[in-house]
Structure 1
Amino acid sequence: MKNQELIDVVFTWSIDDVLNKDLIRNKVTKIPQKFSSLTDYTKSFIDPLLEETHAQLLSSMNIISRASTREIKVRSETKNMKFPNYHSYTISLENKSRGGNYEPEVGDLIVLTNVKPRCIDDLKPYVIALVQFVNNEDHGTCQVISSKPIPLSGEQTHKFMRIAVHLMNLTTNTRIWQALHPSLDGNKNMKMINKVLQTDSVVKIPFHIL
């Protein structure tokens, strides 16, 4: 998982993976009270963070009929310099009174559908996206990235997505993930941790140091 962002991992999960409560759980081991190296420290928290992220997503799936929604139109495909390997789109939001009350925020993980979901089967095909930018003036548009191509509204296809369904916000989990991967955050958190952890000794370190 070197140089992978958290969203890279989340995008690999199929809907069956999300519904599998043991997908990550069996990989998680007890976090030790002491660490002998910086690498041991950071690695100890990666699987628990993935398991927590997966559990939050599964919980959202189990109550999908009560999720916040908003009617949308996928306007255009754009370029995203930070995530060049993903599809990036500009999405416009329909009026709340007409299409739901969901207000997107940066870091939101959403699933795009062509019907308002009443059950998990309504999420197929499973197309998720991450909100990257929200228009601060009127929240009328936002930009998202997705690992899958999304048909533009108005295209001659029955598969176009017209509903955005809120699943969870990944901002906090992403910040923790980046802190555990020095190459992603420019070693900002690792410099602080190094002051506490000496590689030639065994030191107790609390997780909240992140």
Structure 2
Amino acid sequence: MNSNQLSKRLETVVSFIHPAQTIADIGSDHAYLPCYAVKKGLVKQAVAGEVVDGPFQAAKKQVAADGLSASVDVRKGSGLSVLSPGEVECITIAGMGGPLIASILEEGKEKLAGVQKLVLQPNIAGHAVRSWLVQNNWTIEAEAILEEDGKLYEVISAVSGKGQKLTPQEIYFGPFLMKAQNDAFRLKWQREFNQIDQVLAKLSKAALGKETEQKKQELTAKKQWIQDVMTHENT
């Protein structure tokens, strides 16, 4: 992967940026995503935010090597602290856990003024991202799920200011993903179902106790949710 050829995962993230002309990529690593977006003419200006010094320096080198210093501003800082309110139309955050993405958005709420779109790619716990979006008046407009190198990734695109009500199942599985149920979606939840079965088998052999029983009930309920969604015939 480089600034001319992104991974399938990041290409999917980029595909949701339109129609924004200014973006901020938070946790940008080598700044491949913003450099690619500018090179392809998808955006005019970009900010690459990175909190760790190694990736920050790598991003600066990449932007300079691509001759994009006038278009891609590499900034060091935590989360959305690298931004000013109203500075960009779209924010992308990819390659982190869902709870971390949600905490970055929560801690940087004041920086979201003027942001029209969020494109978020949680590695795990996508429901934490959806829950934050619903609670903060964002509307999920599109989702994708894909497999790459044996791993499964969800991408969530949300727009501001509309608000949305989702069922607990839609928050957990994704309102668009559970309707489409492509191969990657079914693989993800079949894996999850099998893992729950394995944990339940271990818990059944564990010493009885309040915590053990509560865990068994939670997992059994989750297993039923997956079974219900996977066996639902879409129309």
Shorter-chain TM-score bucket reads under 0.3
- Normalising by structure 2, report the TM-score: 0.23
| Larger relative contact order (Cα-Cα within 8 Å, sequence gap ≥ 6) | 1
